Amino acid sequence: MVNIDKVKKKSTSMSPIAVPDADRLAKICYQTFESISKTGKPILGKEWTVLSCIAKYEHHTKDLEVVSLGTGTRCIGRSLLSNQGDKLNDSHAEVMCRRGFLLYLYDEISKAMDPEENSIFSFNESKKKFEISSDISFHFMTTFAPCGDASIFDIESSRSEEVIEPSESKRSKLHEPRDEKSIDNTKTTNFTGAKLIYKNTEVPQDLMAQSIGDVRTKPGRGEPTLSISCSDKLAKWNVLGLQGALIYSLLDKPIYYSSITLCDHQHCDIEAAKRAIWKRFTNTKFSPEKPFTVNQPLIQMSRGKKFKYERNMDRDPAPGSIVWSKLKKCVHQVSVNGKLQGATKKSGGRLKISKIELFRCYFEILKKFNDKLNIFEGDVDFTSLRYCDAKSQSTEYQQVWKNLKRDYFKVWATKPSEINMFIIS
Ligand SMILES: [Zn+2]
């Protein structure tokens, strides 16, 4: 039996998109997480983590399957950034999951050129672009409020919809910030440990002020990070698409998520997530060129079973971050401090979702199909192509990103340009 799914009416002229029910989505995400090997999973009862998944929904069959998942709560400080593209700066669940989704997309793009394979894409010879099947939509799920703007909300108004009151012990935990235990704030606000970014760093500023709609860097007590909060990244993907600049150069349009399911109704708030992900753009002059748009995903709450490794103040955050991606041969790897767990200089081994390995996927597509695509003309020596130059070839994408920063994300943290100059050696 299939649940009757909600129908999300888009504000544009597009036909309504059916969205799988929140509890069904959460259930399938937990089942997929349970089905993968225990490598990198938290120790039950001792550790906690956040789980994020992207599920593919086929409208005519109503089949729902997880194509990418990520766990994790860590990111590295600015002094540990690598110029080789081999380290993950950000290992939060949402980011792990999205990078796993990029692997999935590259795999599907390769399959589209193989008549023996089924793919979500087909190649349009006249456009020289890959097109995604109109029968497919993607749905994002996460077990905790994304860090940053979506974590700031008034608990009392959020909880007024609740039927069951939590015990006092649970209630006291609601007032603790997600990411930092030591911040003092009002008693009725769920707040974030993600830090505000200021242009003028000479004047002392309150990095922890709980103003809404602002860009923040990731929470954490160690060395400051240049990684942007998950709320801001989700908002960026909600305009530019989940596929990023490189894959966009291969496609006819960006790939958006059609819904976001939040799975912890005690620590998440639908209105705060809406604000963080798209409503905060609505009062600005920002209006992206087509085919880009400010997507308006349905944001829903699962009230079914909770994640068994959910955040618990009596437990430690798990040190590793998992990425799992549904490919012909599924990828399951664990990141610790931004590197593949267990890899040594001698043994080598990299995360398949590191920038350089994802760039290698792009490189493989170019090597095979460059004559069919409309990206680089003539014979190009791809071995000397720098990552930053490949990204800047995606001109429509870069223009929308530039305008989004001009009109809204004015203080987006920039990393040193050297970290994007690597080539595939
Ligand atoms: Zn986060």
- Contact in structure between 260 and 247 (CB atoms under 8 Å): no
State the total domains in the chain. Answer: 1
pLDDT value of residue 347:
72
Report d(CA 181, CA 142) in Å as an integer: 22
Q: How many angstroms separate the alpha carbon of residue 120 from the centre of ligand 1?
A: 29
Tokens in use for 18? 């059916």
Q: How many angstroms separate the alpha carbon of residue 186 from the centre of ligand 1?
A: 22
- SS3 state of residue 53: strand
Amino acid making up residue 161: E
Q: How many angstroms separate the alpha carbon of residue 133 from the centre of ligand 1?
A: 30
| Residue 180 bears catalytic tag | no
List pLDDT tens digits, range 284-332.
888 999 999 999 999 999 999 999 999 988 999 999 999 999 998 999 9
Report d(CA 387, CA 364) in Å as an integer: 14
Q: How many angstroms separate the alpha carbon of residue 234 from the centre of ligand 1?
A: 10
Q: How many angstroms separate the alpha carbon of residue 91 from the centre of ligand 1?
A: 8
Q: Between 174 and 296, name the one with better pLDDT.
A: 296
Whether residue 264 lies inside any domain: the answer is: yes
Q: How many angstroms separate the alpha carbon of residue 204 from the centre of ligand 1?
A: 25
Residue of 196, 228, 203, 205 whose CA lies nearest to 78: 228
pLDDT exceeds cutoff 70 at 85: yes
- SS3 state of residue 52: strand
Q: Which residues of 143-154 are buried (b: 16+ CB within 10 A; e: fewer)?
A: bbbbbbbbbbbe
Report d(CA 376, CA 13) in Å as an integer: 34
Tokens in use for 261? 């399911």
Whether residue 279 lies inside any domain: the answer is: yes
* Residue count (the chain): 425
- Element spanning 68, H or E: strand 63-71
Residue of 202, 203, 194 whose CA lies nearest to 235: 194
Domain of residue 120, residue span: 6-420
Q: How many angstroms separate the alpha carbon of residue 381 from the centre of ligand 1?
A: 38
List pLDDT tens digits, range 267-279.
899 999 999 999 9
Residue of 144, 183, 186, 268 whose CA lies nearest to 194: 183
Q: How many angstroms separate the alpha carbon of residue 273 from the centre of ligand 1?
A: 13
Q: How many angstroms separate the alpha carbon of residue 326 from the centre of ligand 1?
A: 23
Instruction: Give the mean pLDDT of 404-421.
Output: 87
Q: How many angstroms separate the alpha carbon of residue 50 from the centre of ligand 1?
A: 9
Question: Which residues make up the environment of ion ligand 1, defined by Cβ < 5 Å?
Answer: 92, 147, 230
Whether residue 186 lies inside any domain: the answer is: yes
Report d(CA 50, CA 1) in Å as an integer: 29
Per-residue confidence band for 8, with pLDDT thresholds at 50, 70 and 90: low
- SS3 state of residue 227: coil
List pLDDT tens digits, range 152-162.
888 866 654 43
Whether residue 397 lies inside any domain: the answer is: yes
Half-sphere exposure of 94 toward its Cβ, with a 13 Å CA cutoff?
28
Per-residue confidence band for 6, with pLDDT thresholds at 50, 70 and 90: low
Report d(CA 284, CA 403) in Å as an integer: 12
Residue of 378, 338, 373, 297 whose CA lies nearest to 22: 297
Whether residue 206 lies inside any domain: the answer is: yes
Q: How many angstroms separate the alpha carbon of residue 228 from the centre of ligand 1?
A: 8
C-alpha distances (whole Å) from 23 to each of 29, 57, 133, 234, 264 are 10, 14, 25, 21, 12
Q: Between 11 and 88, name the one with better pLDDT.
A: 88
List pLDDT tens digits, range 363-390.
999 988 888 998 888 777 888 999 999 9
Which residue of the set 94, 202, 377, 396 is catalytic? Answer: 94
Tokens in use for 15? 């036909």
Tokens in use for 80? 């540990």
pLDDT value of residue 413:
76
Q: How many angstroms separate the alpha carbon of residue 280 from the centre of ligand 1?
A: 18
Q: What is the pTM of this model?
A: 0.89
Least confident of 73-82, 201-210, 239-248, 393-402: 201-210
Whether residue 1 lies inside any domain: the answer is: no
Place of tokens 């003539």: 378
Q: How many angstroms separate the alpha carbon of residue 151 from the centre of ligand 1?
A: 10
pLDDT value of residue 78:
78
